[in-house]
Structure 1
Amino acid sequence: MALLGVLWFGLDALARDELGAPLLVGLLLACLGSFEALSVIVRSVAKLGAAAAAADRLLALATAPASIQDPAVPVAFKPGRLFLENVRFGHDPDHPVLDGLSLDVPVGHRVAIVGPSGAGKSTLAELVLRLRDPQGGRVLIGATDLHTVRQEDLHRHVALLGQSAPVFIGTIRSNLLIARPDADDAALWQALDDAQLGDVVRSLPDGLDTAMGEAGHSLSTGQARRLCLARTLLSPAGILVFDEPTSGLDRATERAFLADLARATQGRTVLLITHAELPDGTADAIWRLRDGKLVPQRASMPATAVSARLSTMST
């Protein structure tokens, strides 16, 4: 309407020689140009309601009580074997994704949990980290039930590398120090070497202080996963949980990552949750999650022995 109005009155003024043709063209172009600026304001006003609703949701999340609470009188955390005893959990209580699941992971052993998407593998990782509480059964480290210890103490001894672990905008050093703020350069380089990324970082002009992300150096997908692995290895945690750590990697990069995992995690307890094909030596035992329970695919300890140990522990 504005454009038609300028054109209508402009042509009339042009016919009466009150306005020159170049000026009329300039007015029309100025009118068109003003739409670009005004359209941003119009779109912003249209999005204001959605932004306000999103802000309300964020505020509700920020002020909501935590779903997992620390015990009123926490017990001291004592590292040890990882036990899951007759664990039951499901978003729909009538259809649990985990139903009577038991697992015994000795200290320093690497256990892989495999199975199709939706079988409950990530739920199992969340229970070990006490991001959720089981609806039945127990999760223990040593002889300590996880719901009796402070979450801060638990997460100091159990670390997670998930499938969506990010490389943050910043330097390589700042990305690593998230896991252990007091780590010195020797520890940072050791973690990078263990993750087979040390030589790559040494080749960069600024080394550990190389900027990552926007306006900084960009790592390949495989290198980014190795940086996340180095960050996890830098943690002092004795139990490492890997939830689909090779997600998004091509097959060759995936095999190389998994082949290095056993050497990099030597001496620590590892729970590796994956759907990938595992190279020989990656895990001491492989269990398949099926119908809410673990079925031995290749176990260093037979299922009957695990059940016997869990029964003895319960007694």
Structure 2
Amino acid sequence: MSEAVVASAYGDPEVLSVIDAAVPDPGPGQVRIEVRAAGVNPFDQKMYSGAFGADPANLPLRLGVEAAGVVTAVGVHATGPAGPVEVGDEVIAYRAAGAYAAELVVPVSSVVPKPAGLSWEQAGGLMAAGVTAVHVLEAIGLGKDESVLIHGAAGGVGLMAVQLAVARGATALATASPARHELLRDLGAIPIAYGAGLADRVHAAAPEGVHAAADLVGTDEAVDVSVELVADRSRIATIAGFGRGAQAGIKLLGGGPGADPGTEIRAAARLQLTEAAEAGRLRVLIAGSYPLSEAAAAHRQIMTGHTSGKIVLVP
């Protein structure tokens, strides 16, 4: 048996609890992992909030999609994207259904090596935000010497998108509260305060124009300012403002209604991200870590919308 976090009902974080869950032996093409850290993502909270439906037949609902840990058992045919996986390997698993747990069985196709230079917390928080950021930049076609407006740049996905944009040779115009500006400058971005007058501030920072935009927060301001400043709406994408984004005719990405999940792009991005992290070109910033028993507190922090970096659970 292993501890795992479940939602016993649909609603607020108070519906979360820790249960004892059976952990089977891995079958063909599977591995078992002793989890050292699991990333917490806004998507997880939406799963039990009712945003994606509230079918009681799905309860209790296991949560989490990404984890890092040590392989404790392997089934036959245990070869992942980077090669054979063996007992004792330190790995990252994504996608890993039910990742909020002390132990987990996942398909070996979800497993990639953990970069040695990352802590367990950093490794547990790398993938979901990282692959989303790669998907966004690919979808808007960001290239060298271009400028991109990144709304919500101090969040988990935003910090990844800033670093990856800068690595492409692009100029990252990063919206965030003034308290986050020093961090964003350190990552190579041009920080810009959101709020009234945003379009004017962006224009002043990039008088030659903005080539593309990424809405990572889902506000009307993010969509409206992006549409105002970027001439080609196919170069604007949102991962959160699906209703407003659909009305504006911009790209919808991720798990929302009518959105492109980018499955192949995100799968291919995993080894790109681990290689960049291993080489020191990509930092994973951790905003906070919680034990499994405090998953509700972790989710309340995510729901503020003001975390700077990733939240992780540590069994």
Superposition TM-score tier, normalisation by shorter sequence: under 0.3
Relative to total residues, which structure has the larger strand share, 1 or 2?
Answer: 2
Structure index of larger Rg = 1
Q: Which has the higher helix share?
A: 1
Of structures 1 and 2, the one scoring higher in RCO (CA 8 A, sep 6+) is 1
Per the normalisation by structure 1, the TM-score is: 0.25
Task: Compute the TM-score of the two structures, normalised by the length of structure 2.
Answer: 0.25
